[in-house]
Structure 1
Amino acid sequence: MKVTILGAGVVGVTSAYYLAKAGHEVTVIDRQAGPALETSFANAGEVSFGYCSPWAAPGIPQKALKWIFMEHAPLILRPKVDGAMISWMLKMLSNCTSSRYAINKSRMLRLADYSRVALAEVRSETGIAYDERMQGTLQLFRTEAQLDASAKDVKALAADGIPYEVLDPEACIRVEPALRHVREKIVGGLLTPKDETGDCFKFTNALAAKAEALGVVFDYGRTIKSIVVEGGEAKGVVTDRGVTRSDAVVVALGSFSPLMVKPLGISLPVYPVKGYSLTIPITDATRAPESTVMDETYKIAITRLGDRIRVGGMAEISGYTNDLGLARRRTLEHSVTDLFPGGDVSKADFWSGLRPMTPDGTPVIGATKVRGLYMNTGHGTLGWTMSCGSAKVLSDIVTGKTPEIETKDLAIARYN
């Protein structure tokens, strides 16, 4: 079968790799000059199989009101006259209940844990390196209220059989020795030891080379205009260089996916939520994290990537804008220097990317009402984490195989 994949981020490239392994003739089309040059380029570096939660959670509406007045707020809202933004926010608010949170988190953990196994398989069969570490994620609590609130996550982790450890301050320092310099700021932590770290950009480029060796064609620098539908079936795509014909089309365009499928009468509730990152060279390894420390106060991840620290986070709802606000940089700098003092943030590279968020936190994977048209998008902050599992599931669905995990509640039909 000829399959065209739209998008060469980590989700598109992993999809291409699995589909090629399944024996399909795959072409990947992207507007950039190479793989992983947009949202996959400089993300937080976490591969968070255990630290995996929906943004829509009980108490978030109340917290959001407080965050409006915080200097270093984890959530920034720039309201505008935008029907898609308003609709998405209302849907997200409807998911901020205990019952919905439990359902959504369970879905996410199922897919993330499946992706953990899939990523290990890819690493084993390809031998690619991407500054990877397998030392877990430490969710760090600065207040007793944060520690108490983690009970709902502990419950979900236990229910799904995901390993975890609740740590006191001294145990946090044993996991991340550099935190000894700020012992007085730590109340406790939640460790998910199966989590990993790694450079998503390096991984995606290395896997793209392996996919090419399997016969995948990467067609870069092309503007995708529309999807060709004939007789109710996807038959290819129109680009600025003509028509590419195929038997199936996979939409893996991240935040831009809903714009591509809207003309086909498909309402995809994915909206861009901008995140920011700093990449800082390590000058003193004794003051750097060993793996990922998630600063719960600011919702910022501080991750070791080889000889660099990647500081990533925040959620800015401002539409399809990719400007670099200096206030956001100050928040990233504040979090990393407050927990790991001594680094030279003046040498940091500053970046932003648009995360494709669904209102329930779960990605959209699978078939659509248009025959031959498939989705693999909406992973929010967890595209890197869920990429291999999502791609393996998608490949099985396209091929006509029964996936190894439940996928019905991952499809777009769940929104009907």
Structure 2
Amino acid sequence: MRILVLGAGVVGTAAAYYLASDGHEVTVIERHPAAARGTSQSNAGLVSPGDATAWASPAALKTFLRALYNHDLGIKVRLRFDPYFFAWSLRFLRQCTQARLRANTDIKLRLALYSRGCINAISADTGIHYDERKKGILYFFRSQQSFDTGTDNYRYLAEHGLPIEFVGRDRLVELEPGLAGAKDRIAGGVYSPIDQTGDSSQ
């Protein structure tokens, strides 16, 4: 079968690879002069099952409401008369329960672990490298309240198969010496040793 893939970012390139491996004739079209120069270049470059907790949660509901008037938050909400926006907002808010948080996190964690295995397999099979660093990712918390909430979420991930280490200030600095100067302003952290980082434009 002849298949056309639009976009040579991470997802488009991976899709083309799997389709070609399955015997299809694949053409990739990219509007930029090189691969991974759009959304993939602007992404954080994280391969991070440790970040698998779903966004929609009781905490996100509070943030969503605060974002209506506080524009300095990570979530930006601009009210306007847009039926698609209101429909999306209702769907999002319906997911902001503890039960849906757990159910969606289960799915997201399985997908993240599977995706991590896929990207490592592609790299091993093709010899393509993306400036990858397989040293884990350290998540740290500035306040005790955010640390307590965060560790609850990470304990759930750990119970469902993700290797996790909860770390105090000294261990934080051991893992990342650059935090030594800010040590007293950090409540604690979580280390996910199987997480990875990279640069898709490399």
TM-score if structure 2 supplies the norm length?
A: 0.91
**Do structure 1's residue 145 and structure 2's residue 139 form an aligned pair?**
no
Aligned length: 202
Match of 2:49 in 1: 49
C-alpha distance in 2, partners of 1:115/1:43? 16
Classify the secondary structure of the residue corresponding to 2:41.
Answer: coil
Contact 1:41 1:201 (8 Å CA) reproduced: yes
Q: Which residue of 2 aligns with 1:94?
A: 94
CA distance in 2, matches of 1:30, 1:103: 36
Distance 1:71 1:179, change over 3 A: farther
Give how far 1:109 is off.
0.7
Residue 78 of structure 1 corresponds to 78
- How far the C-alpha of 1:79 sits from its partner, in A, is 2.3
> Separation in 2 of the partners of 1:69 and 1:11?
35
Say yes or no: does 1:173 pair with 2:173: yes
1:35 paired residue number: 35
How far does the alpha carbon of each residue in 1:349-393 deviate from its partner, in whole angstroms, 9 at most, with x for none? xxxxxxxxxxxxxxxxxxxxxxxxxxxxxxxxxxxxxxxxxxxxx
Q: How far apart in 1 are the matches of 2:60 and 2:155?
A: 18
- Between structures 1 and 2, the one with greater helix share: 2
Counterparts in 2 of 1:200 and 1:79: CA distance versus 1, 3 Å? farther
C-alpha displacement of 1:189: 0.6
1:309 alignment partner in structure 2:
none
Judging by fraction of residues, say which structure has more strand. Answer: 1
Report the residue type matching 2:56 in the other structure. A
Residues 20 and 46 (structure 1 numbering): CA distance in 2 closer, same or farther, change over 3 Å?
same
Task: Indicate the residue corresponding to 1:61 in structure 2.
Answer: 61
Match of 1:10 in 2: 10
Paired residue for 1:133?
Answer: 133
Task: Spell out the pairing of 1:7-406 with structure 2 (5 A cutoff).
Answer: 7-67=7-67, 72-202=72-202
Identity %, equivalent residues: 39
SS at match of 1:50: helix
Q: Deviations over 1:241-261 (max 9, x none)?
A: xxxxxxxxxxxxxxxxxxxxx
Contact preservation (8 Å) 1:105, 1:156: no
The verdict on how the C-alpha distance between 1:165 and 1:47 changes in structure 2, with shifts beyond 3 A counting, is same
Deviation at 1:133, TM superposition (A): 0.5
Q: Report the Cα distance in structure 2 between the residues aligned to 1:138 and 1:176, rounded to whole angstroms.
A: 8
Q: Which amino acid aligns with 1:73?
A: L
- RMSD, aligned α-carbons: 1.8
- 2:48 and 2:195 in contact (8 A); partners too: yes
User: SS state of the match for residue 76, structure 2?
Assistant: strand
Find the residue that maps to 2:140 and give its secondary structure.
strand
Q: Which amino acid aligns with 2:149?
A: A
> How far did 1:180 drift?
0.1
- Unaligned stretches of 5+ in structure 2? none
User: In structure 2, what is the Cα distance between the partners aligned to 1:29 and 1:71?
Assistant: 37
1:139: how far off? 1.3
Q: What amino acid is aligned across from residue 81 of structure 2 in structure 1?
A: V
Tell me, yes or no, if the aligned pair for 1:51 and 1:192 is still in contact at 8 Å.
Answer: no
Contact 2:64 2:77 survives alignment (8 Å): no
Aligned-partner Cα distance in 2 for 1:107–1:52: 9
**Cα offset, 1:181, TM superposition:** 0.9
Task: Read off the aligned partner of 1:114 and give its amino acid letter.
Answer: Y
In structure 2, distance between residues paired with 1:103 and 1:141: 25
User: Does the 8 Å CA contact 2:63/2:75 hold for their aligned counterparts?
Assistant: no
Distance 2:201 2:82 in 1: 32
CA pair 127-30 structure 1, distance change in 2 beyond 3 A: closer
Residue by residue over 1:30-64, the C-alpha shift from the partner in whole angstroms, topping out at 9 and shown as x without a partner, is 43333222211121121112222222112212133
CA contact (8 A) 1:50 1:162 kept: yes
What is aligned with 1:306? none
Unaligned runs of 5+ in 1: 203-416
How far off its partner does 1:146 sit?
A: 0.7
Alignment-mate amino acid for residue 163 of structure 1: P
Instruction: State the distance in 2 between where 1:91 and 1:23 align.
Output: 39
1:81 and 1:66 mapped to 2: Cα distance? 19
Any idea what SS the aligned residue of 1:104 has?
A: helix
Matched residue of 2:120: which SS? helix
